[in-house]
Amino acid sequence: MKFTKTSTLPAVAAAVAKALAKESIRAVLTGGACASLYTRGVYQSSDLDFVLQSVVPVARLDAALATVGFRRRGNHYEHQVVPFFVVFPAGPLGIGSDLGIRPVRRRVGPVSVTVLSATDSCRDRLAAFYHWQDRQSLAVAVGIAVRNPVDLKAIKRWSRAEGAAEGMNEFLAALAQARRRRRLRLGPRSRRT
């Protein structure tokens, strides 16, 4: 795939995922890039975090990513044209203390990409809010939950296990407010159709 300066994060994620799959490298898109997909670009990330599902030699990663124009620079991969870089954070795949993550397949253009579920992407952003008081991550978690079906019971159970009952209550209040605003915004449109 030929990238341009205006190539989107979803297009780059799809191309990288395809290049990895072509070399039988199993990886899950996580972090901000995954959140960007679920918020339909409302949240933008500058990096694409792929957690490897097995041990892969660096030379093999280098070769796979070179097929789409990425070159290793230290601990990440850069492209001459696109503003996004690719990172392979250390595994295992987990959210907070939960290591029982079950990735899903999601269509990104013509490519099926292995990603966190919407519920797990929401939990991933909430982990940053709970543990580092990252308010932007709270807003992104709300954005994911407003635009996608998420399992609120699972999020509540996990939040309690993380010792974040107070943070969970703040998330639920912000989510309720965002849903009300969304209904108000969409209300007149839905009556016209």
Q: Where do the structural domains in the chain lie, given as residue ranges?
A: 9-115, 118-187
Residue 29 has pLDDT above 90, yes or no: yes
Q: Report the distance separating Cα 27 and Cα 116, nearest Å.
A: 11
Counting residues of the chain whose pLDDT is more than 90, the rounded percentage is 92
CA nearest to 148, candidates 119, 114, 183: 119
What residue spans of 23-164 are helical by DSSP H? 31-38, 58-66, 118-132, 135-147, 152-161
CA nearest to 107, candidates 13, 4, 3: 13
**What confidence category does residue 191 fall into, taking pLDDT thresholds of 50, 70 and 90?**
very low
- The CATH topology of domain 9-115 is Beta Polymerase; domain 2 (3.30.460)
- The partner residues of 27 in beta bridges, in order of sequence, read 52
Quote the pLDDT of residue 186: 80
Quote the pLDDT of residue 157: 97
Mean confidence (pLDDT) of the chain: 95
Instruction: Decide if 158 contacts 122 (C-beta within 8 A).
Output: no
Could you report the per-residue pLDDT of 52-94, keeping only the tens digit for each? 999 999 999 999 999 999 999 999 999 999 999 999 999 999 9
3-state secondary structure of 100: coil
Strand order in the sheet with 76-79: 70-73, 76-79, 85-87, 47-52, 27-30, 111-115, 104-108
- Element at 117 (helix H, strand E): none
